[in-house]
């Protein structure tokens, strides 16, 4: 499985760092939605679903967490712990987010508005969807 991890160029100076993300530039889709998770309860796993169409970029803007990506054939765990690093998650990819540090803020840039119809929440259904 090809893992696409972006390293965003911070605009750093003696005041600190700033990362700017624009659709179709640093981010390979039009950004229709942004959401973020924080105050995540210790030991929990979030996600556990795939999307039919949605593409996303996950950025752990503070703290750290791990992302499991599963295309139905192969599973890969990607650690995220840098605020200028983004993990691309394609459509039809099962994902789980876990191992959140207490101070973790996981921000997600999404290519579509929230649509429950786009979710595949059952793993067996996901495997059927990808033809496995
Ligand atoms: P949920 O899908 O359970 O989050 P995760 O995949 O990270 O475990 O979403 C939690 C709640 O937030 C659920 O009630 C749906 C709502 N929600 C929105 O209203 N808009 C959104 O963009 C997202 C991602 C979730």
pLDDT digits (tens, 9 = 90+) for 77-103: 999 999 999 999 999 999 999 999 999
Element (H, E) at 124: helix 123-129
The atom number, within ligand 1, closest to the CA of 97 reads 7
Residues with CB under 6 A from ligand 1: 33, 35, 46-47, 49, 114
Q: What is the mean pLDDT of the chain?
A: 98
* Residue 86, pLDDT score: 98
Decide if 51 is catalytic: no
| Contact status, residue 40 vs residue 122, Cβ threshold 8 Å | no
Burial 105-117 (b: 16+ CB within 10 A, else e): bbbbbbbbeeeee
Domain topology for 21-129: Jelly Rolls (2.60.120)
Report the predicted TM-score, pTM, of the whole model to 2 decimal places: 0.96
Percentage of the chain lying above the pLDDT 70 cut: 100
* Residue 107, pLDDT score: 98
Q: How far is the CA of 14 from the centre of ligand 1 (A)?
A: 38
Q: How far is the CA of 83 from the centre of ligand 1 (A)?
A: 22
Which of 32, 33, 35 maximizes ligand 1 atoms within 8 Å of its Cβ, making it the mutation to test the pocket? 35
Catalytic residue, from 11, 49, 51, 62: name it: 49
């Amino acid at each position: 499985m090809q893992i696409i991890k972006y390293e965003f160029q911070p605009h750093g100076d003696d005041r600190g760092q700033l990362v700017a993300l624009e659709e179709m530039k640093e981010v390979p889709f039009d950004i229709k939605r942004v959401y973020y998770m924080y105050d995540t309860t210790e030991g929990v796993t979030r996600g556990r679903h795939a999307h039919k169409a949605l593409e996303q970029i996950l950025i752990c803007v503070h703290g750290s967490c791990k992302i499991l990506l599963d295309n139905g054939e192969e599973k890969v765990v990607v650690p995220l712990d840098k605020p200028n690093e983004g993990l691309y998650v394609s459509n039809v990819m099962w994902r789980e987010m876990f191992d959140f540090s207490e101070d973790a803020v996981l921000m997600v840039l999404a290519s579509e508005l929230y649509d429950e119809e786009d979710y595949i929440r059952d793993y067996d259904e996901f495997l059927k969807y990808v033809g496995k």
